[in-house]
Chain A
Amino acid sequence: MAPERRDHPPRNVVLAAILCLVLSPLLFPQGKGPEIRKTDDGISYVSAGVGKESRENLPPFPLKMVFSTKTSRYLANIETEIVPARGGKPARIQSIGPWLLVDLPPGKYTVKARTPKGQEVVKSFEIVKGRTTKLNLVWNLSDEDI
């Protein structure tokens, strides 16, 4: 059966997927949870959420971010910068998946999240010891615009 072909995905989506292909053994390990990685400054994080299996066995990090469109569709390949409110170097993390879990110390932060097209969402939040902060970052855009 010949498939029906729609328009190609945006160029940046394709480029991101090519990058993803290169990194895929790290990002989509078969049969085990996603790998815990570290930023240059030693902040641990897990980028997950592509495929249900990647949402299992996740570490209990204090920050969980979910990236989605206004129509509740998960996004991927989001560039994030987490800036401490009272100074310090920001954590820059490229999240391949729509879930990003970060092991941040307690404090107040601002996160700036950017799609491959540069569309940004900014939110401030607080990490409180012993609690998980769940942050939904919603781009008020349709799927086609991202």
Chain B
Amino acid sequence: MKISKSDPGKLAARRGHAWLVTGLFGFGTLLFLAGGPLLPPAQAQWNYDVTLTGYPQARWKALTNYIDKPAMADINQDGRPEIIGAGVFGDVYCLDGRTGQILWTYDEERSLELAVYVSPAVADLNCDNVADVVSIAPQGKVFALDGTNGKKLWSFQAEGMVVYSPGAFDIDRNGTVEISVVDTKGNLYVLSSSGKQLWKVTGQSPFFGVPAMGLVGDKAVVIAGDRSGSLRCYDATNGNPLWSYSVSSSPSSSSPISTSPVLFKDPQSNAMPWRVLVGSEKGEVHLVNAQDGQMIWSRAMTGGIVGDFAVGDLRGSGALDAAFSTSHSEVIAVSLSDGKTIWTKKFKVPLQESSEVKRGKRITRETLSGQPVLVDVDGDSKLDVILETRGLNSYVYCLGGSDGRIIWNYGTKNLRSNPRLTESVTIAPGQDELAGDQVIYSDTVPVYSNPTPLVGDFDGDGKADLIVNDRDEVGLINVPLPSALVPGSWAKFASSPCNNMILFSVPCVGAAPAPGIRLSADRNEIVEGQSVKICWTSTNAAGVEMDQGVGAVGVEDCLTVTPPQTTTWTAVARGCGGEAKDSASITVSVKPPAPPPIPPPPPSPPSMTDADREALTRSLNDVFFEYDYYRLTPDAQKTLDQNVKQLASYSSLRLGLEATCDERGSQIYNQFLAVARGESVREYLVAHGVDVSKLEVRPQGETVKWDSRRDEEGWAKNRRVHFVILP
């Protein structure tokens, strides 16, 4: 999907509420350009055998790591958005929006030190007219990926942890976006599209959420709220402070900011129309003039901590409203003109989950979390509110934008033909073990999640699709919404500064400096089989590509290679100002021949005849076990006592203990159970005078079958330890 330079939708930034409401008018039109038949449901993804059994209304299901807040962009340029999700460990997934097929995945060094719950920012960073991805890995690493293939473009290391999503906005209006990110050490960074730090400010306390970036009049600004209750506005070009605003009523009454700020233009105000909306942990909502930092109004909510806002025209009045959730399980809609409450929807409060599960009842706990999404579901030209709840049963609610009524809700009951609790029940205490070979499921628990649903027309049929998280198995489900959207409503939907926005390709415009690249190797001559390290640095490059099958690489990185023959490596740096190349040749000489192998030592002569060996083997009786036990029964101990007597005359013999299991249980489990059985026998023999150094446990699991019958009689024969004389 290409956007002309004049398209006003081209500079919209994703997440972080960091863009102007007026910036996305192209969205609705583009969504309805696409069409085409639906593909069959997604086939197996990841390590799972995925089918849609039990999900009658789901279009597809894709299994990934836990994705908190997916983003979307038309990566493969088929006119329909793809879904880009960040896993909690720095992994990123790009899914075809129509089929759920994973187009590419990226794993940032499998960082597992800290889980981060972020939404990636999508923007064209390398000027190929395809949206690229900026995401976060644990331990403060910000990284960018090429949207076409998921290869890393660059990474940036923050001083502290980064736990909020990155923001993107074209600050200098040159056609490429800048990236904002905050860390836990109170730093606010603004990075170039190639990952270089443009400026940094350090606040008095850590900033919360995603900074708002956008235009206030002609001036590009970055606005961020911190945990001391200050909302701070900076000049986006250099980080100079412009104004600050305190949400605390007095210096002694601190109220940390608990939402990402939302920057928008009030359509009903002609003079100084730019506004910032922010919420606090004390449940206050403040509307501030974005030009001078003066309060327009503030309202105290009864519902505790305020969650992130969705802004749009909920009443069809032409004025903007905001919807948000609170920590007291409420959804509140307020008018942004005066801050007055339009409606409040109170959800159920937590109940005794555990006893409810045991009685087989649906769980009533529903905790609101995430950020609402605004979309006109019923076609009445008023935006409605979609949000997810969290609990043992996850629900997705759609509330009428003008009155808060429930239009529909999806939950386990509707998403699945079999509610989860029928497969997750609690058996009486003490019985939650094995019944035969069946695992009896015990009760599941409320899982942590902070989900935000994603709404878009992913299959191009003109109707909204809903992407929700599935907590039973990690992944995403696409569910078509029941109502068609009228085409005109999409612009309004798209103008909501919530997470469901798309950032279209941003072409390079204006003059840009030419890129440069320098490539070097730590050695230019090696012997066959040796490795060499190739490093490169580039300037003014949005991306670097290496030949010899490597492909896209970071703008500054190293690569260790083991070329089998003399090879020349060439790297191409590309940027808005053109491209540059550099090469390095590695000469490979032939490896000298290996020394002749050392001949094996001659076998030691047998200490006893074959006949003796056979006779002794026959005299040693096998030991049998109970099902799924490795303990020795009294009969087994008697058998071992007899074997000890037989072995008394052969103290120098080495004995193999071949342990087997019946076929019930997985192969790997049986292999370990066989070890345990062999060890039981070895311990007993050692305790009765057999030299431990002469005994060798040989676990054979279920790979050796003494009896092929598949009944208890046959299985009992296979649960044994068999004795063999070792050479």
Contacts and interface: CB of A to CB of B under 8 A. Distances in A.
Interface of A: 1, 3-10, 13-14, 16-17, 20-21, 24-25, 27-28, 30-31, 50-55, 66, 68-70, 72-77, 81, 83-85, 87-90, 96-98, 108-110, 112, 115-116, 119-126, 128, 131, 133-136, 139-141, 143-144, 146
Contacts of A122: 65-66, 474
Contact of B667 (A55, A124, A125, A146): A146
A68 B439 contact: yes
A58 to B, nearest CB: 11
Contacts of A27: 676
Interface stretch (B126-134, B497-505, B623-631): B623-631
A53 B632 CA distance: 11
Contact of B665 (A9, A74, A126, A134): A74
Given A3-B722, A51-B673, A133-B445, 18 more contacts: A3-B660, A3-B705, A4-B705, A5-B705, A6-B704, A20-B675, A24-B697, A30-B683, A51-B628, A51-B676, A76-B671, A108-B448, A112-B89, A121-B47, A126-B447, A136-B444, A140-B48, A146-B668
Contact of A131 (B50, B89, B117, B354): B354
Describe A's contact surface by its main secondary structure. Answer: mixed
B679 A25 contact: yes
16 contacts: A5-B704, A20-B699, A24-B675, A28-B680, A31-B631, A51-B628, A53-B631, A83-B89, A84-B114, A97-B672, A115-B668, A124-B471, A134-B432, A134-B445, A139-B47, A141-B49
A124 B439 CA distance: 20
Contacts of A81: 112
Given A75-B668, A141-B49, A146-B666, A134 B702 contact: no
Interface string B508-545: 00000000000000000000000000000000000000
Contacts of B713: none
B88 interface: yes
Given A21-B697, A136-B439, A110 B629 contact: no
Contacts of B704: 3-6
A110 B448 contact: yes
B79 to A, nearest CB: 33
A64 to B, nearest CB: 8
Contacts of B48: 140-141
B448 A72 contact: no
Contacts of A139: 47
A143 B112 CA distance: 28
B314 to A, nearest CB: 32
Contacts of A108: 448
Given A13-B671, A17-B671, A7 B703 contact: yes
B114 A88 contact: yes
A61 B100 CA distance: 39
Contact of B629 (A51, A98, A121): A51
B630 A51 contact: yes
A120 B674 CA distance: 25
Given A5-B704, A13-B671, A112-B112, A28 B679 contact: yes
Contact of B703 (A9, A125, A128, A140): A9
Interface in B657-672: 660, 664-669, 671-672
Given A24-B675, A50-B676, A74 B703 contact: no
Nearest to A50: B672
A4 B495 CA distance: 70
Nearest to B631: A53
Nearest to B684: A30
Contacts of A120: 47
Given A21-B699, A87-B161, A76 B442 contact: no
Interface in B708-727: 708, 722
Contacts of A141: 47-49
Contact of A98 (B438, B449, B669, B678): B669
Among B438, B445, B628, max chain A CB count under 10 A is at: B445
Among A53, A70, A77, A122, max chain B CB count under 10 A is at: A122
B442 A134 contact: yes
A100 B228 CA distance: 42
A108 B630 CA distance: 36
Contacts of B49: 70, 140-141
B113 interface: yes
A139 B674 CA distance: 22
A118 B85 CA distance: 22
B241 interface: no
B701 interface: yes
User: Top 10 A-B pairs ranked by shortest CB distance?
Assistant: A108-B448, A134-B442, A73-B666, A124-B447, A28-B676, A51-B630, A76-B672, A4-B705, A119-B47, A140-B48
A142 to B, nearest CB: 8
B448 A85 contact: yes
Among A5, A8, A24, A139, max chain B CB count under 10 A is at: A24
Nearest to A51: B630
Interface string B164-190: 000000000000000000000000000
Interface string B199-242: 00000000000000000000000000000000000000000000
B439 A143 contact: no
Contact of A17 (B438, B629, B665, B699): B699
B115 A83 contact: yes
B557 interface: no
Contacts of B556: none
Interface string B542-564: 00000000000000000000000
B629 A9 contact: no
Contacts of B432: 134
Interface in B416-448: 424, 432-434, 437-439, 441-448
Contact of B668 (A24, A52, A77): A77
B706 interface: yes
A135 B444 CA distance: 6
A143 to B, nearest CB: 5
B448 A126 contact: yes
Contacts of B674: 17
A68 B629 CA distance: 18
Contact of A123 (B354, B424, B442, B447): B447
A70 B441 CA distance: 12
Contacts of B706: 1, 3-4
Contacts of A6: 702-705
Contacts of B722: 3
A88 to B, nearest CB: 7
A83 B112 contact: yes
Nearest to A136: B441
A53 B667 contact: no
Given A6-B704, A52-B628, A74 B669 contact: yes
B67 to A, nearest CB: 11
Contacts of A53: 629-631
B354 to A, nearest CB: 7
Nearest to B673: A50
B665 A135 contact: no
A69 B47 contact: no
A72 B437 contact: yes
Interface string B454-472: 0000000000000000010
Interface string B630-655: 11000000000000000000000000
B471 A140 contact: no
Contact of B439 (A74, A76, A87, A121): A74
A76 B668 contact: yes
Interface string B468-486: 0001011000000000000
Contact of A140 (B47, B65, B163): B47
A110 B675 contact: no
A66 B629 CA distance: 18
A28 B682 CA distance: 12
